[in-house]
Amino acid sequence: MDDFYFIARIASTGKDGFIKINSPLDITDKFFQLNNEVYIDFWGKKKKFIVEETLKIKNSFFLKFLNFDDERDSIVLMDRKIFVHKQNLSLLSSKNFIVTDFIGCQVFRDDILIGIVKDIFNTPANDVIEILKPDGKEFLIPLVDAYFEIMDIKNKKLVLNSNAGYYDDED
């Protein structure tokens, strides 16, 4: 079993060594109480990094790692995945989920089963869920709170918001 869980991707570097992160999690202040340590994947190996400072500006989150003091230092981190050790998962709030927890969830819209989550893809804007329909066709929807009425990961059930539009290619 993997001892690490994906929590964010490094989206960009910035001033004074700060990096901007994108996360499929509903990030709260508890996200930043992970004993100030996270792990970044380098070619399949997880390297420990100490979070020195965190910032939230509007809806964006930024981290500064110890000994990363300018954009030149941080550029090596671009587009890398950030993980947390499983022992720190309990520090995340109960509303937070690990991306792989979504796989296998049944997806409903208006009490009708429309499919099962097959996979999740990272995109620059947000993560995207691949849903396998009962007829074998697949379609994608953004993993964004506004698209869902219910996200009951424990019971493997997602209910789409009937007002949120999504593209289902019937052809």
Q: Is the pLDDT higher at 78 or at 61?
A: 78
What confidence tens digit (pLDDT) does each residue in 154-164 have? Answer: 788 888 887 76
Dist CA 154 CA 131 (whole Å) = 18
- Which CATH number characterizes residue 126's domain? 2.30.30.240
pLDDT reading at 142 higher than 70: yes
Q: 94, 111, 133 — which closes off a domain?
A: 94
Shared domain for 116 and 36, answered yes or no, is no
Q: What average pLDDT does range 124-137 have in this prediction? A: 84
Q: What average pLDDT does range 128-149 have in this prediction? A: 86
Question: Residue 48 has what pLDDT?
Answer: 92
Shared domain for 56 and 116, answered yes or no, is no
Q: What average pLDDT does range 31-52 have in this prediction? A: 81
Shared domain for 29 and 78, answered yes or no, is yes
Calculate what percentage of the chain has a pLDDT beyond 70.
75
Task: Flag whether 80 is in a domain.
Answer: yes
Q: 94, 113, 132 — which closes off a domain?
A: 94
In the numeric block, which tokens belong to residue 89? 């998962």
pLDDT reading at 115 higher than 70: yes
Q: Is residue 51 very low, low, confident or very high in pLDDT (cuts 50, 70, 90)?
A: confident
Task: Flag whether 86 is in a domain.
Answer: yes
pLDDT reading at 169 higher than 60: no
pTM above threshold 0.85: no
b/e string for 62-77 if b means 16 or more Cβ within 10 A? bbbbeebeeeeebeeb
Count of domains for the chain: 2
pLDDT reading at 78 higher than 50: yes
Q: What average pLDDT does range 36-64 have in this prediction? A: 85
Shared domain for 89 and 136, answered yes or no, is no
Shared domain for 104 and 79, answered yes or no, is no
Question: Residue 113 has what pLDDT?
Answer: 92
Q: 48, 68, 94 — which closes off a domain?
A: 94
Shared domain for 13 and 76, answered yes or no, is yes
Complete edge-to-edge strand list for the sheet that includes strand 138-142:
138-142, 127-132, 112-122, 106-109, 157-160, 148-152
Q: Is the pLDDT higher at 119 or at 99?
A: 119
Q: Which residues constitute the domain of residue 142?
A: 100-160
Q: Is residue 22 very low, low, confident or very high in pLDDT (cuts 50, 70, 90)?
A: confident
Shared domain for 122 and 89, answered yes or no, is no
Radius of gyration from C-alpha coordinates of the chain: 17
Q: How far is CA 121 from the centre of its chain?
A: 10
Question: Residue 93 has what pLDDT?
Answer: 44
Question: Residue 85 has what pLDDT?
Answer: 76
